[in-house]
């Protein structure tokens, strides 16, 4: 009998080496992917996230989420910048706002100067439309539908046109009690302003009116 074992093994040797090489590459790729993902997770956990910022004030919303006023300051453009945060302090998922409520939210925010009885809505910018006319856009974050997992938070911003002498206001926010005695501070020079253009003159003057006409 002729022993053909060596011949058969020699013909399959290149295929075997290819399989071994592919297996080694797969194991190496899996190792590096797992290591990189673990490094990203560790970096995210170690980084000081937005949720770590101590709020100026907080109120509970009807949804059960917490509304934090993170910052209220005046930037070089003369506008008052508000940073607010939705936060889920509970143990279950919370729907903070749906699509419609999120879309309409910036238009429902306003500040009140209790001393002067004046109201300041979110500032607007004017831009030319493709049809040749002008359109106004609120100077604020676009707020989508917001769902928060336990411990999760999400921040947004809005800008208001108020006089230079305005130093303390009450914030009116949908689905939350009025947040009173909020001091307006000067923005840190190192903090970039969330700028989307220059506020229109109508926003600077027309957004202030008697609180009795709200």
Report pLDDT for 30: 41
Mean model confidence pLDDT for the chain: 75
Report the predicted TM-score, pTM, of the whole model to 2 decimal places. Answer: 0.65
**Residue, of 39 and 131, whose pLDDT is higher:** 131
Better-predicted residue by pLDDT, 3 or 69: 69
Domain ranges of the chain: 1-47, 55-213
Closest CA to 82 of 152, 156, 136: 156
Give pLDDT tens digits for 34-48. 333 333 333 333 333
Percent of the chain with pLDDT over 70: 62
Range 187-191 contact pairs with CB under 8 angstroms and sequence separation of 24 or more? 187/73, 187/74, 187/75, 187/76, 187/81, 188/73
Q: Sorting pLDDT into bands at 50, 70 and 90, what band is 191?
A: very low
Q: How confident is the model at residue 127 (pLDDT cuts 50, 70, 90)?
A: confident
- Between 141 and 129, the more confident residue is 141
Mean pLDDT of 161-184: 95
Query: How far is CA 163 from each of CA 79, 91, 98, 167, 172, rounded to the nearest angstrom?
Result: 9, 42, 34, 9, 18
CA–CA distance, 203 with 121 (Å, rounded to integer): 8
The yes-or-no verdict on residue 80 having pLDDT over 80 is yes
Query: Quick one: pLDDT at residue 43?
Result: 33
What's the CATH code, domain 55-213?
2.60.40
β-pair type (66-74, 80-87): antiparallel
């Amino acid at each position: 009998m002729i022993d053909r074992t060596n011949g058969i093994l020699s013909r399959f040797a290149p295929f075997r080496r290819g399989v071994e090489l592919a297996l080694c590459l797969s194991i190496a790729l899996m190792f590096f992917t797992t290591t990189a993902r673990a490094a990203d997770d560790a970096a995210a956990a170690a980084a000081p996230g937005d949720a770590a910022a101590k709020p100026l004030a907080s109120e509970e919303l009807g949804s059960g989420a917490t509304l934090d006023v993170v910052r209220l300051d005046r930037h070089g453009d003369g506008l008052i910048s508000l940073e607010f945060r939705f936060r889920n302090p509970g143990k279950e998922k919370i729907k903070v706002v749906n699509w419609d409520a999120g879309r309409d939210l910036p238009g429902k925010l306003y500040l009140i100067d209790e001393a002067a009885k004046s109201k300041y809505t979110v500032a607007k910018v004017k831009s030319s439309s493709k049809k040749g006319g002008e359109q106004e856009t609120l100077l604020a974050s676009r707020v989508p539908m917001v769902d928060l997992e336990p411990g999760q938070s999400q921040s947004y911003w809005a800008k208001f046109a108020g006089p230079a002498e305005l130093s303390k206001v009450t914030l009116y926010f949908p689905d939350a009690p009025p947040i009173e005695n909020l001091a307006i501070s000067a923005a840190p020079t190192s903090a970039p302003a969330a700028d989307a253009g220059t506020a229109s003159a109508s926003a600077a003057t027309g957004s202030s009116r008697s609180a009795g006409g709200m």
